Amino acid sequence: MRVSARTILLVAATAGAVACGGGPTVRQQTGRATPDEPARPAPAAQVPIESVEVEVLEPLFPAIEGWQRGAIEGQKAIETVSITEVHAEYAREPARVEASITDSGLNKSYIAAFTLFVANGYKKETPTGYERAVKVGDYPAWERWDGDAKSGELNVLVGGRFIVQLDGVDIENTRILHELLRKFDLKKLEGVK
């Protein structure tokens, strides 16, 4: 079973933060109460929840005309954080695209590193390609391209909780990743509870 390097890095960072007591904190400012006006309650913080089961995400991998979809596989990890990752490979010779959907369970420590890449204006040029923040519909996203390797990656943050990643090799450009992503129902994914 494939586990992405991003998942390993983010889980390791989260585990380290939790082990050191550096987990996410919420500062509440309630304001001062006066005789005429009681203290205002602090806004509710979004707390981590248990990620969904693999079986919930499996149906979200569409059959795509002209592409052969491999087996859909997944795993749910409940160590320091609850994370579910499901993936499948799509192939159309010579191109191969590994698609994955990860449920972060609203864990801010997991999502924090990803949000740096999707920040508006993020851009990095390399001798053979680029990395940059993009938008996919209403969703923040990040794409990477390496022209020499003919490889690219498209990552989308859905509902502040799910990460959809398409990682392609032997592709002509990232346009193919955007075309494949349009076949995934991101609105339905966003509605998953």
* Model pTM score: 0.76
**What CA–CA distance (Å, rounded) separates 79 from 154?**
27
Residues across the chain: 193
Residue whose structure tokens are 């494949």: 180
Residuewise pLDDT in 10s, the chain (193 residues): 444 444 433 444 434 443 444 433 332 233 333 344 444 443 455 788 999 999 999 999 999 999 999 999 999 998 778 999 999 999 999 999 999 999 999 998 888 888 888 877 889 999 999 999 999 999 999 999 999 999 999 999 999 999 999 999 999 999 999 999 999 999 999 999 8
**What CA–CA distance (Å, rounded) separates 111 from 31?**
30
Domains of the chain (ranges; CATH) run 5-13+48-190 (3.40.1000)
**What CA–CA distance (Å, rounded) separates 26 from 42?**
10
On whether the CB atoms of residues 190 and 172 are closer than 8 A, the answer is no
Question: Which of 20, 14, 25 minimizes the C-alpha distance to 110?
Answer: 14
